[in-house]
Amino acid sequence: MERNLAHIALFAALIAALGLIPKFTLAFGVPITAQSMGVMLCGTILGAKRGALAVLLFLVLVALGLPLLAGGRGGLGVFASPSVGFLIGWPIAAFVTGLIVERWNAPILPVATSAAILGGVSVLYVFGILGMAYMLDKTIPAAGALSLSFIPGDLVKAIATGLITAGLARTRPASILSRG
Amino acid sequence: MKLAILSAATVALFALQDPAWLALSLVGAAALVVSGGWRFTRSALRSLRILIPFLLLVAAWHGVTGEFEAGLVVALRLLAALTLANFVTMTTRLTDMVAVAAVLLAPLRRLGFSTRAFELSIALVMRFTPAIAQKGGRLAEAWRARSVRRVGWQIVMPLAATALDDADQVAEALRARGGVDPT
């Protein structure tokens, strides 16, 4: 109980911290925030349930008004902005990512990478695009076209998530709780 | 109370289709904000900046398709909803928000669930976010001291490892002090 709680809280703090440290520049010079990578890591490292709870806890704190989202945003306003779908999709993305890592028994690097792509990108964009279509009053294909430009960056983040998870699994096998 | 009004107003904003009414509600929301004084207004405007890319997109989209009124409706609705939500956040102290959360959680407590775990984890996140961010900053410095390349995603792995270590320590500390639910 205490261990689960501490992991959930510390990973929620990790997501927040990833939004606070200055932007990373990934390969190809795409400047992006690492925050959505934190969401993927919650799934691959903590597993489905704990990962989703960690993301949910983070969102509760954002809704309460703490400026934890990348760029120092927070408060109820972000839930009235066009990107609300992505926020709602975050815990579900972490859950799906964690579920795949838990259930798919294969070497961790390909599993974590494809889990991050399926959960952290595909599932996330379904929610993000639906949310954007609703908020901007567009058709779903139109909203999809608008979010296309962010997909390459997120794919890179998913690959980085796979590498980080595999690195942790190699150096400290006990830390990958989703495989515990 | 304010939160209930905000939810009702946001639902209403999405039901409204007439640009005139939407413009009127935007003026109303803006009037609320301006009543808070000059500095208040300025920081409210700053928080609206995240909408700029979306507004440009909407403008471009409807400029091409020629449906100006529909574009205006979307833009006005977004502006009004965001202004109002920010107004509520800016005029509500964090302690009051936490109090609202506690009220919302009260029925759960009556059903026998403990909300202590939730309250405890909120406190933990607030305490450890700056700590982890600081460690991230130090990792980035160490990277810069050794490499000419820019700081990359690689530092996230040791960062996640420190978060895991901290979690283990916190778990032990909690258990040593009687656990989440001391009875």
Domain boundaries, chain B: 2-92, 107-176
CA B66 → CA A136, A170, B52, B63, B69, distances in Å?
A: 16, 57, 20, 5, 9
Contact residues on chain A for B49, CB-CB shorter than 8 A: none
Contact residues on chain B for A137, CB-CB shorter than 8 A: 70, 73-74
Asked whether the beta carbons of A43 and A119 are under 8 A apart, the reply is yes
Instruction: Among B97, B117, B132, select the one facing A17 at the smallest CB separation.
Output: B132
Q: Is the pLDDT of residue B125 over 50?
A: yes
CA angle B94, B99, B104 (to 5 degrees): 125
Pairing of strands A31-32, A24-25: antiparallel
Tell me the H-state helices in chain B. 2-15, 19-34, 38-47, 52-65, 68-91, 94-110, 116-146, 156-176
Percent of chain B past pLDDT 70, that is, above it, reads 66
Question: Does the distance separating the beta carbons of A160 and B156 come in below 8 Å?
Answer: yes
Question: Does the distance separating the beta carbons of B101 and A136 come in below 8 Å?
Answer: no
DSSP 8-state secondary structure symbol assigned to residue A106: S
State pLDDT tens for residues A68-112.
787 667 767 777 777 788 888 899 999 999 899 888 888 888 888
Question: A153 Cβ partners below 8 Å, 6+ apart?
Answer: A26, A30, A32
Q: What is the mean pLDDT of chain A?
A: 82
**Closest CA–CA distance from residue A173 to any residue of chain B (Å):** 11
**Closest CA–CA distance from residue A15 to any residue of chain B (Å):** 8
Q: Is the pLDDT of residue A41 over 50?
A: yes
A73 SS3 class: strand
Contact residues on chain A for B164, CB-CB shorter than 8 A: 7, 10, 45, 168, 172, 175
Neighbours of A180 (CB within 10 A): 10
pLDDT at B87: 73
Question: Does the distance separating the beta carbons of A157 and B153 come in below 8 Å?
Answer: yes
B16 SS3 class: coil
Here the CATH number for the domain that contains residue A48 is: 1.10.1760.20
Range scoring the smallest mean pLDDT among A83-92, A112-121, B47-56? B47-56
For residue A68, give the chain B residue with the closest CA: B129
Do the domain assignments include residue A84? yes
User: In which domain, by residue range, is A54 found?
Assistant: 2-175
Contact residues on chain A for B136, CB-CB shorter than 8 A: 17-18, 20-21
Do the domain assignments include residue A8? yes
Do the domain assignments include residue A75? yes
Question: Does the distance separating the beta carbons of B159 and A65 come in below 8 Å?
Answer: no
Total domains in chain A come to 1
Do the domain assignments include residue A118? yes
Nearest to A72 by CA among A30, A14, A21: A21
Do the domain assignments include residue A180? no
pLDDT at A28: 44
**Closest CA–CA distance from residue A49 to any residue of chain B (Å):** 15
**Closest CA–CA distance from residue B164 to any residue of chain A (Å):** 7
Asked whether the beta carbons of A46 and A82 are under 8 A apart, the reply is no
| Residue of A52 and A69 predicted with greater confidence | A52
Do the domain assignments include residue A35? yes
Asked whether the beta carbons of A96 and B107 are under 8 A apart, the reply is no
Question: Does the distance separating the beta carbons of A26 and B54 come in below 8 Å?
Answer: no
**Closest CA–CA distance from residue A4 to any residue of chain B (Å):** 8
Do the domain assignments include residue A90? yes
Q: Stretch A14-34: mean pLDDT, rounded? A: 64
Tell me the H-state helices in A21-73. 35-41, 48-63
Do the domain assignments include residue A140? yes
pLDDT at A31: 47
State pLDDT tens for residues A124-148.
888 888 888 887 777 778 777 777 7
| Residue of B52 and A171 predicted with greater confidence | A171
pLDDT at A95: 92
For residue B14, give the chain A residue with the closest CA: A135
